[in-house]
Structure 1
Amino acid sequence: MLIMSLHDPISDMLVSINNGQKSNKTLIFVPNSNIKRNILLVLKNEGYIIDFEPNGYFIKIFLKYFNNKSVIEYIKRVSSPGLRVYKPSNQLPKVLSGLGIAIVSTSQGIMTDKDARKRRIGGEIICYIA
């Protein structure tokens, strides 16, 4: 049985992805929620994971590797339940000078920093991934 803290479920998912890749797992399970599915959709579209499948109470996440190295080298939670970080579109950070992405929760949904800048909307910075 999977036991996780429920104070910050997004952070728990990011840590599970990071730990899964460090231990060379191809498949991990995290508890299901709408925001997690939206974040995973961004990760899939940007090529950081192979795929994900919502499966009842859990989400199956298929991790991606290239030349036996994990595709995600850096993952960091920025905004947390105790300290929210909001930025307007002109102040959204460029992760590793544009080589990584920041996932942003906006009024038009969850998207990358590049998409938010293009649409000129700011929002809450969820995490950095490179």
Structure 2
Amino acid sequence: MGKDIIYKIITSIRNVDADNKRRVQIVSTNVTNNLIKIFLQEGFIKDVRKNHISNKKFLLVLTLQHKKKKNTINFKNISRPGLQIYSNYKQIPKVLGGLGIVIISTTLGLMTDKEARQKRIGGEILCYIW
């Protein structure tokens, strides 16, 4: 899967957040759409719009949630191309005692640790976000 795409998206969102800007533009793919849905559910992003570029190509324009302090989005890469970390649903780690989220790649697509525990499905642990 495109793990490096996920890290590029998260890094671009974090960099824009650190500069106190409000909008990020990302190319729309299935992976990015799934990741953006997770960010909307968890409250890291306020709004998403689709802009048409050309035939069958779209840009996603993300509006970030801004808080008073800088760097409100932090993440840590877990799996990488040379080392993939897998876990069953019982052993999925909790980030900051449940305050952060773990993004997991499962057979049902990308999901958070809470969803994976509820559906009793494990997968590859991609990153921690807090």
| Deviating 4+ runs (over 3 angstroms) | 67-71
Q: Deviations over 1:14-65 (max 9, x none)?
A: 1101101000110011222211110110110111111223433432111111
Structure 1 CA distance for aligned equivalents of residues 49 and 79 of structure 2: 25
Counterpart of 1:10 (choices 2, 6, 14) is 6
Q: 2:17 aligns to what?
A: 21
Could you tell me which amino acid in structure 2 is paired with residue 78 of structure 1? I
Instruction: Confirm or deny: 8 A CA contact 1:64 1:70 kept in the other structure.
Output: no
Q: Deviations over 1:64-96 (max 9, x none)?
A: 112355542x22222223332211111101011
Q: 1:58 aligns to what?
A: 59
Structure 2 CA distance for aligned equivalents of residues 102 and 17 of structure 1: 17
Gaps of 5+ in 1: 1-5
1:67 to 2:68 alignment: yes
Q: 2:103 aligns to what?
A: 103
Gaps of 5+ in 2: 52-56
Instruction: Confirm or deny: 8 A CA contact 1:14 1:77 kept in the other structure.
Output: no
Q: Percent identity?
A: 41
Instruction: Confirm or deny: 8 A CA contact 2:87 2:125 kept in the other structure.
Output: yes
Structure 1 CA distance for aligned equivalents of residues 88 and 107 of structure 2: 12
RMSD: 2.0
Q: Count the aligned residue pairs.
A: 124
After TM superposition, the structure 1 stretch with the greater mean CA deviation from structure 2, 10-19 or 78-87, is: 78-87
Q: 1:126 aligns to what?
A: 126
Q: 1:3 aligns to what?
A: none
**How far off its partner does 1:126 sit?**
1.9
Instruction: Confirm or deny: 8 A CA contact 2:3 2:80 kept in the other structure.
Output: no
Structure 2 CA distance for aligned equivalents of residues 101 and 90 of structure 1: 15
